[in-house]
């Protein structure tokens, strides 16, 4: 929830600008393990950048927004 709230505040659109995978769907759970090596959420995919941990993701999103 923390990441989705920050995304909304910063003007990012989930699925368009940033991909967040939800582990509740089996397909996404498999993708999480395939991409990141573990079944943990939140997991951010932004081009080549992939990361866990909501605080790190929010910090990354803020830095990225400030660069634009």
pLDDT tens profile 18-67: 887 778 888 888 989 999 999 998 888 888 999 999 999 999 999 999 99
What's the pTM? 0.83
Q: Does domain 2-67 have CATH number 3.40.30.10?
A: yes
Taking alpha carbons only, the member of 63, 52, 64, 67 closest to residue 2 is 52
Q: Please report, for the chain, the start and end positions of each structural domain, with discontinuous segments joined by +.
A: 2-67
The DSSP 8-state label assigned to residue 17 in this structure reads T
Compute the Cα dihedral for 13, 16, 20, 25 and give only its sign: positive
3-state secondary structure of 18: strand
What's the rounded mean pLDDT across residues 2-18?
Answer: 88
Q: What does the alpha-carbon distance between residue 58 and residue 31 come to, in Å, rounded to a whole number?
A: 21
């Amino acid at each position: 929830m923390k990441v989705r709230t920050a995304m909304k505040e910063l003007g990012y659109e989930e699925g368009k600008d940033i991909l967040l995978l939800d582990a509740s769907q089996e397909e996404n759970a498999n993708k999480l393990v395939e991409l990141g090596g573990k079944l943990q959420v939140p997991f951010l995919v932004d081009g080549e950048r992939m990361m866990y941990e909501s605080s790190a993701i929010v910090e990354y999103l803020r830095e990225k927004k400030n660069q634009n």
